[in-house]
Structure 1
Amino acid sequence: MHLRSWLLVAITVGVGFGQISCDNRKQGEASKEVASEKMPKITFAEKGIYDFGTLIEGDTVDHVFTFTNTGEFPLIINNITASCGCTTPEWPRQPVAPGEKSSVRVRFNSRGKMGQQNKTITIFANTEPAMTDLQFKAMVNPKPDSAKKS
């Protein structure tokens, strides 16, 4: 009988701890959702793919992508990579406060490029998701040949 009493106590304690840990798990998930909603958010003014239009091979063009931090914590851009060495991004190195606007400047050098160009710039920041893509396109026509004379 003494063994049964200890067994009953052990089962009761085990079920109690199980309930508490289950409750902690639910609280953790709820906290994660609340924190995720408050994370920095990078919201760009423009949607879709920016079109530089038609360029002549060798032209260099740039565009400023304006964004707002629509989250509740400072936005920090850690890095930006481009899909090609012909594209150079510039971004704010300081944190962007909640509600503040800033921008990413993208410069595209069409030297050595021909035809339709589709490029992607990937922003790595303390946002959820951690990566955000910007895209642009351009049609690059060949330079007129200055050696030909009519």
Structure 2
Amino acid sequence: MKKITIIYIAILGLAVISCKENATSKVKETNLETAKERDAKISLGSAIIEFDKPAFEFGTITEGDIVKGDFTIYNKGKVDLVITKAKASCGCTVPVWPKEAIKPGDSAVLKFSFNSRGKRGNNNKSITLTTNTEKGTEILRVKGTVLPKEK
């Protein structure tokens, strides 16, 4: 019993000694300013993305043709729109997206090329964008028909 009382007094003494410092004295002013700026940005919401068209229709082409096209991206939100990745559904479609942030009210262009070699028939390819919008991902389509190459 004596040992338990001594251990209890020792723990209580450590708690009293270690709690002398005021927690507010440890807070840095720069961290408070950074937190206020972050909270102000969060209150504006996420970026809002819109496109000039949801799909690029290339019509009918001959196998082996390469189609080049683009989508115009608009930022309708109150914060910068950032596209971190653009991934096509297959290697035949290659997107080139804007790497810089798109300011509120501004627009930018996503370009792509579609190689129809070995892609006979109806084609419906997708380009998935990873963004800082509320959904997080956006999908664009590239559609058309590829006729076999004449021999």
TM-score, length-scaled by structure 2? 0.69
**How large is the RMSD of aligned CA atoms in angstroms?**
1.8
* Structure 1 segments (4+ residues) deviating >4 Å: 34-37
Identity fraction in percent: 41
Q: Which residue of 1 aligns with 2:121?
A: 115
Aligned equivalents of 2:44, 2:121: Cα separation in 1:
42
1:131 and 2:137 correspond: yes
1:43 to 28, 50, 58: 50
Stretches of structure 2 that go unaligned for 5 or more consecutive residues are: 1-40
The Cα shift of 1:38 comes to 2.9
TM-score, length-scaled by structure 1? 0.70
> What one-letter code is carried by the residue in structure 2 that aligns with 1:98?
P
Aligned equivalents of 1:132, 1:59: Cα separation in 2:
27
Aligned equivalents of 2:90, 2:72: Cα separation in 1:
22
CA distances 1:23-62 after superposition (whole Å, capped 9, x unpaired): xxxxxxxxxxx95763111111114x32100010000011
1:97 and 2:93 correspond: no
Q: Which residue of 2 aligns with 1:56?
A: 62
Aligned equivalents of 1:50, 1:61: Cα separation in 2:
10
The Cα shift of 1:138 comes to 1.2
Aligned equivalents of 2:43, 2:85: Cα separation in 1:
21
Q: Which residue of 1 aligns with 2:6?
A: none
1:11-22 alignment, distance < 5 Å: none
The Cα shift of 1:144 comes to 1.0
